[in-house]
Structure formats: C-alpha cells, structure tokens
Amino acid sequence: MKNQLYQQAREFVSQAQFSKKAEDISKAKNSLSSAFANSTLAEQEQLRGMQEQISHLEESL
C-alpha cells in the first residue's frame, strides 16, 4: 500500500512550484510535515529534498 500522505505531499509541492502562490507553499509545507512522521527512511530522505525545494521557492518570493 502506498503512503497517501507522501503522495499528497508530492502533489502539493508540485502545485506550489507551478503556481508560486504563498497559499500553495503553505499547503505544501503542512503536507510535508504530516507526511514525514508516517514515512519510511527512503521517503523521509525524499521529503527533505522537497522541503529544501519549498524553502528555496519561498525565499525567491
């Protein structure tokens, strides 16, 4: 079974990168936080990368 929170986090990050809207960035950050606790170590590593992407996106606004 796939980790639904992980999948949602990926979708929210993708949406935030596309829209570059503060609201979407906030949703992505919240989703990443929720997904982290329920993820495997491999997923957590990927989530960290997504968090970095969102941080860079947020800094560029």
How high is the mean pLDDT in each 10-residue block of the chain (61 residues)?
Answer: 90 98 97 94 97 95 86
- Taking the C-alpha atoms of residue 55 and residue 13, their distance in angstroms, rounded to an integer, is 11
The rounded radius of gyration (Å) of the Cα atoms in the chain is 11
Q: What angle separates helix 4-19 from helix 41-59, to the nearest 10 degrees?
A: 20
Q: What per-residue confidence (pLDDT) applies to 41?
A: 96
Q: What per-residue confidence (pLDDT) applies to 4?
A: 95
Total domains present in the chain? 1
* CB contact at 8 A, 39 and 50: no
Domain that holds residue 49: 4-59
